[in-house]
């Protein structure tokens, strides 16, 4: 831990449609903060390394079928199984850059038609992010980027519904970055909002819980 133990790390969440560039941007952000000497880790959900994560992974690869409610609860359980470690890391001063979180959980499941309040319920009590960054791209543009794999949700019609769900979840605290800008420009804007947030957490902003 390269920072003083009295200040906590920030919980930074990146959200967006599939192919919005989240994963490359979290990697670049991680590298930058690490090189700057910050204590930082790069996380992602689903975390496919746990037992629950393996069930999710098999579902996403269409190797198993699950009721929409059941898979929703597995995604949530996958966050719950990491909650105490997350809190420990943040309290010890480590900033976490998290690729997808509860908002993905709610956006993707409600896009299937599940009730939004029902979708939010199992997330209650998870740690609330200090910053949510939404990498904004239209479903059509994202699809043009190619590389939609064979995973279950990587289809234009479904991504359009997810975009709608994200829109209803967004609030004024979210930072929205145009994901169609160049990689470097997105990176620059992302660094600005993240550094700002880290300072606020450093100064003693308390950790809070979902949903605020
Ligand atoms: P990934 O491509 O970022 O690994 O995410 C896998 C897929 O799972 C992606 O299409 C989004 C979806 N997802 C959910 O449906 N619910 C969740 O809670 C999370 C974290 C992801």
100 lines ligand 1 (CB under 6 A): yes
166 lines ligand 1 (CB under 6 A): no
- Report the nearest-CA residue for atom 5 of ligand 1: 46
Q: What is the ipTM of this complex?
A: 0.99
Given a contact cutoff of 8 angstroms between Cβ atoms, the answer to whether 165 and 134 are in contact is: no
pLDDT (0 to 100) of residue 3: 44
Q: What is the pLDDT of residues 10-26, one digit of tens each?
A: 999 999 999 999 999 99
Q: Where are the beta strands (DSSP E) in the chain?
A: 11-15, 40-44, 95-99, 131-136, 175-178
Summary mean pLDDT of the chain: 95
153 lines ligand 1 (CB under 6 A): yes
pLDDT at residue 2 tops 60:
no
Q: What is the pLDDT of residues 111-157, one digit of tens each?
A: 999 999 999 999 999 999 999 999 999 999 999 997 787 799 999 99
Query: What is the pTM (predicted TM-score) of this model?
Result: 0.96
- Report the nearest-CA residue for atom 4 of ligand 1: 46
């Amino acid at each position: 831990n390269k920072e003083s133990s009295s200040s906590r790390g920030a919980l930074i969440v990146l959200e967006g449609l599939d192919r919005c560039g989240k994963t490359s941007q979290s990697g670049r952000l991680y590298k930058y903060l690490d090189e700057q000497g910050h204590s930082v880790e790069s996380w992602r959900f689903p975390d496919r390394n746990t037992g629950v994560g393996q069930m999710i992974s098999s579902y996403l690869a269409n190797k198993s079928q699950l009721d929409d409610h059941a898979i929703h609860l597995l995604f949530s359980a996958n966050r719950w199984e990491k909650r105490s470690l997350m809190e420990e890391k943040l309290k010890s001063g480590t900033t976490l850059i998290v690729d997808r979180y509860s908002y993905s959980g709610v956006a993707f499941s409600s896009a299937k038609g599940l009730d939004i309040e029902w979708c939010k319920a199992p997330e209650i009590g998870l740690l609330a992010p200090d910053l949510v960054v939404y990498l904004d791209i239209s479903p059509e543009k994202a699809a043009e980027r190619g590389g939609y794999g064979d995973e279950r949700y990587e289809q234009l019609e479904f991504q359009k519904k997810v975009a709608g769900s994200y829109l209803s979840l967004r609030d004024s605290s979210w930072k929205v970055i145009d994901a169609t800008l160049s990689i470097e420009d997105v990176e620059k804007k992302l660094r600005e909002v993240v550094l700002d947030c880290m300072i606020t957490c450093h100064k003693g902003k308390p950790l809070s819980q979902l949903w605020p």
